[in-house]
Amino acid sequence: MNDYFIQVDQVHKDYKIEKSEIKVLRGVNLDVRRGEWIALLGASGSGKTTLLNIVGALETPDKGEVTFDGFKYTSMSREKAADFRLTKVGFIFQAYHMLPELTILENVKLPAMLKGRHGEDVSAEAKDLLEKVGLGHRLRHKPAELSGGEQQRAAIARSLINTPQLVLADEPTGNLDSQTGSEILEIFKKLHDSDSGKTLIMVTHDPDVANLADRIVHMKDGIIVENA
Ligand SMILES: Nc1ncnc2c1ncn2[C@@H]1O[C@H](COP(=O)(O)OP(=O)(O)OP(=O)(O)O)[C@@H](O)[C@H]1O
Ligand SMILES: [Mg+2]
């Protein structure tokens, strides 16, 4: 019995493009405690997004294993992986990835509807989450009618609609000015400090952002290094 929530054990990932092969992850080990906030730093191309995608079961490792709450990913079918992503993991990306045709409220409801949840309680939950991120007055807006910071706040609300235990964020403040970025970080801080204390893995290039986290992890050339 151990108290780690997520364990990444000797994960390797290669990409093959025509005849050449890029070794992107070369034996990554990372243990994350429940409720821990990890900041993942490293040079461009060091493999941060790839690692996040593997932890979120968007991609599979070539070698190695990820364990989530005692459950091993290698035993997961594609169907199970899709349900796992929808239920257990919230994703937040640098470029927001809101669907442009839907209102903000509809975007936030979408992951719940994909899980077969419909009706008034889903709408009420989505509204509540949007109010918590300060967007209660923007429910009927389309993403293009919002600022970048507002879209990212909506994306955070969307990531939480299925009450995931793990939230993965890939440079969530990368496209925002520093004031707006600080507001977004304040939301993450609340998420982290709340009773339901989400486990948070956040990729960032900004050391100031990283200082808010419980632990800073550096990646270099496809592995995690102790001292950057
Ligand atoms: N689907 C893919 N096919 C081929 N190569 C890929 C693919 N995804 C990533 N790579 C390569 O893997 C390496 C690591 O990419 P990754 O996106 O994980 O880096 P990163 O650390 O997130 O960088 P950045 O800080 O620029 O976002 C890069 O050299 C990239 O070109
Ligand atoms: Mg990246």
Ligand 1 pocket: which of 20, 28, 50 to mutate (most atoms within 8 A of CB): 50
Provide the token pair at 199: 């486990």
Question: Would you state the pLDDT for residue 38?
Answer: 96
> Cα–Cα distance between 212 and 60 in angstroms, integer?
30
State whether the beta carbon of 17 lies less than 6 angstroms from ligand 1: yes
Question: Would you state the pLDDT for residue 228?
Answer: 52
What is the average pLDDT across 7-12?
A: 97
What is the largest distance, in Å, between two alpha-carbon atoms of the chain? 53
Ligand 1 pocket: which of 14, 20, 44, 49 to mutate (most atoms within 8 A of CB): 49
Strand intervals (E) in the chain: 4-17, 20-33, 37-42, 63-68, 71-72, 89-92, 166-170, 199-203, 215-220, 223-225
Question: Would you state the pLDDT for residue 227?
Answer: 55
Protein fold of 4-225: Rossmann fold (3.40.50)
Residue type, 221: D
What is the average pLDDT across 211-228?
A: 88
Question: Would you state the pLDDT for residue 156?
Answer: 95
State whether the beta carbon of 48 lies less than 6 angstroms from ligand 1: yes
Question: Would you state the pLDDT for residue 138?
Answer: 95
pTM: 0.93
What is the average pLDDT across 153-168?
A: 95
* DSSP 8-state class, residue 74: G
* Pairing between β-strand 166-170 and β-strand 199-203 as defined by DSSP bridges: parallel
Going from N- to C-terminal start, the domains of the chain cover 4-225
pLDDT in tens, 64-95: 999 999 889 887 888 999 999 999 999 999 88
Secondary structure (DSSP) of 12-66: EEEEEETTEEEEEEEEEEEEEETT-EEEEEE-TTSSHHHHHHHHTTSS--SEEEE
Angle CA 5–163–55, to nearest 5? 40
Q: Is the pLDDT of residue 129 over 90?
A: yes
Using 50, 70 and 90 to split pLDDT, how confident is the model at 209? confident
Question: Would you state the pLDDT for residue 12?
Answer: 97
Q: Give percent above pLDDT 90 in the chain.
A: 74
State whether the beta carbon of 21 lies less than 6 angstroms from ligand 1: no
State whether the beta carbon of 218 lies less than 6 angstroms from ligand 1: no
